[in-house]
Amino acid sequence: VGSHFFKGKKILITAGPTFEPLDPVRFIGNHSSGKMGYALARRAAALGAQVTLVSGPTNLELTHPNIVVKKVTTAQQMLQETLLYYDEMDIAIASAAVADYRPETVSEEKIKKSEENLTISLVKNPDILKTWGERKKKQFLVGFALETTEEMHNAKVKLEKKNLDLIVLNSLKDSGAGFQHDTNKVTLITRTAVAEFSLKSKSEVAADIFDFIESHYIP
């Protein structure tokens, strides 16, 4: 692909959901398919970058000489895995839908059906992207914001709170955007610029994101 800007750059990408186990049979998860993150990895590799893709459980496969895929299950594992590579990265992109909470205890045996109600206590998971933001040195940091209300405001708050350079807003209010679809509709937001895009395939969205990073890159 055209530009040489990303050639040899080290790029870390998270993708997919995390699954937080309750017992050997059940987990708390979400609808992320991994399509957005894998599309980003494919595009980055096509641009000549060296990609480390840390993925939650998905049905997707990806083999490319420029991409190393690391599979994890939980948010804690995803954080630990990314921290093995983060410090040496030029760009880090968080497209994973990380579970904000996990069950406080994981039962060793299958939880039996007994009472009419079952209460599960949840504890907060680490925020992977926020941790990256706190450790940021040279990295150009890209987050996603998946919103359902006050989209622009919430995305800008995340840009600041997590110390990001760019946030990719997608809204579940837009049909064809977000989880599972082969398409997405995004707005790219930095501290000084906002660019709104139409509904496109996730591979085209990935191309738009890297074009935008190239023109807004501050090392």
Residue 207 Cα to chain centre, angstroms: 16
User: Does residue 69 touch ligand PMT according to CB under 6 A?
Assistant: no
Does residue 30 have an active-site annotation? yes
Site string for ligand PMT, 125-164 (x = CB under 6 A): x-xxx-------------xxxx-----------x------
Q: Which stretch binds ligand PMT (CB under 6 A): 43-51, 84-92, 94-102, 206-214?
A: 94-102
What character string, x for contact with ligand PMT (CB under 6 A) and - otherwise, covers 182-201? --------------------
Residue 89 in contact with ligand PMT, rule: CB under 6 A: no
# residues near ligand PMT by CB under 6 A = 27
Q: Is 67 annotated as a binding residue?
A: no
Contact stretch for ligand PMT (CB under 6 A) within 66-74, 83-91, 174-182, 209-217: 174-182
Cβ-defined contacts of 167-172 (< 8 Å, 24+): 167/142, 167/143, 168/95, 168/142, 168/143, 168/144, 168/209, 169/144, 169/145, 170/144, 170/145, 170/146, 171/146, 171/147, 172/146, 172/147, 172/148
Binding site annotation covers 19? no
Reduced to 3 states (helix: H, G, I; strand: E, B; else coil), residue 54 is strand
3-state helix, strand, coil in the chain (%, to 5): 25, 25, 45
- Confirm or reject binding of residue 101 to ligand PMT (CB under 6 A): no
Rg, C-alpha atoms of the chain: 18
* Interface with ligand PMT (CB under 6 A): 14, 16, 32-36, 75, 94-98, 100, 125, 127-129, 143-146, 158, 170, 178-180
Give me the active site residues, please.
30
